[in-house]
Amino acid sequence: MSGPSGKPFDISKRLVWKAWKQVKANKGAAGVDGVSIEEFEADLENNLFKIWNRMSSGTFFPPPVRAVEIPKAAGGTRILGVPTIGDRVAQTVAALTLEPRTESIFHDDSYGYRPGRGALDAVARCRERCWSKSWVIDLDVRKFFDSVAWDLMVKAVEANVTHEQRWIVLYVRRWLAAPIRTPEGRVVERDRGTPQGSAISPVLANLFMHYAFDSWLEREFPTVEFERYADLCRNNWYLHAVPELLALAASRLENAFGVPV
């Protein structure tokens, strides 16, 4: 069944405009097409119409993501993905559509990439809880954005969209599978992970960790208090239970969900 526009998917032009405003406010570099925000804006009406038309028709296909090496404070580099401006707008359309649902289910102690929350809120909450708990367990999911399994990510998205929003699943599959163009110019296909730095990755990462960690911990260890910022977790607990929790959490994330701790 088609939407009011006669297209297979009912995506409003107003939402595409809102997504563009957010992308513009976030600034950022050009993607593989070399088109800057200023250049995209020079033909804005036509560019936004093409995004809306293709997304509504099911014919939007993301181009490769430009890989950029960013130095780490502790040494080494991390790879960030830079989608094209148009792709960032399309991803933001999906993220804005998902956000009302995901915000209604996310745990109160999930702080990363969420409206009105940040790293300092997580630190303050952890500091407050440290006064009443003997130990803090620090869990860091290694290379989360490189290793997360696509099928589990898609399953998490499918559980949180309506029939009318099924287009999100279609495009999430395409965004996950979009190849990476390295700084040397090679186009590399991937079979897992989601590029860190893309507009859709934060909500996908939080959705994955909601099921893989937050909900599990709340269900199996209701007395454990925790703070999670994306793939970084702090668990506040008592001394006698620390080894058990650490082993179970690491085993669950590594064996059941394929992300190393």
Give residue 73's pLDDT.
75
When pLDDT is averaged across residues 32-44 and rounded to a whole number, the result is 98
**What percent of the chain has pLDDT above 70?**
89
- The amino acid that residue 201 corresponds to is S
Give residue 22's pLDDT.
97
Q: What is the CATH number of domain 13-256?
A: 3.90.1850.10
Q: Is the Cβ–Cβ distance between 227 and 126 less than 8 Å?
A: yes
Give residue 147's pLDDT.
83
For the chain, the C-alpha Rg in angstroms (whole number) is 20
Q: Which residues contact 49 (CB under 8 A, 6 or more apart)?
A: 13
> Measured between alpha carbons, how far is 69 from 85 in angstroms, rounded to an integer?
19
Over 90: is that where the pLDDT of 32 sits? yes
First vs last C-alpha separation in the chain: 44
Over 80: is that where the pLDDT of 111 sits? yes
Q: Is the Cβ–Cβ distance between 8 and 58 less than 8 Å?
A: yes
- pLDDT tens string 15-28: 999 999 999 999 99
- pLDDT tens string 114-158: 999 988 998 899 888 888 877 777 777 777 888 888 999 999 999
146 DSSP β-pair partners: none
> What pTM did the predictor assign?
0.86
- pLDDT tens string 212-257: 889 988 988 888 888 888 877 666 654 445 566 667 777 777 766 6
Give residue 5's pLDDT.
62
> What tokens does 94 get?
């999906």
Angle between helices 85-105 and 167-177 (to 10 degrees): 120
- pLDDT tens string 169-222: 999 999 999 999 999 999 999 998 888 889 999 999 999 999 988 998 898 888
Over 90: is that where the pLDDT of 110 sits? yes
Q: Which residues contact 141 (CB under 8 A, 6 or more apart)?
A: 209, 231, 232, 233, 253, 259, 260, 261
**What percent of the chain has pLDDT above 90?**
58
When pLDDT is averaged across residues 26-32 and rounded to a whole number, the result is 96
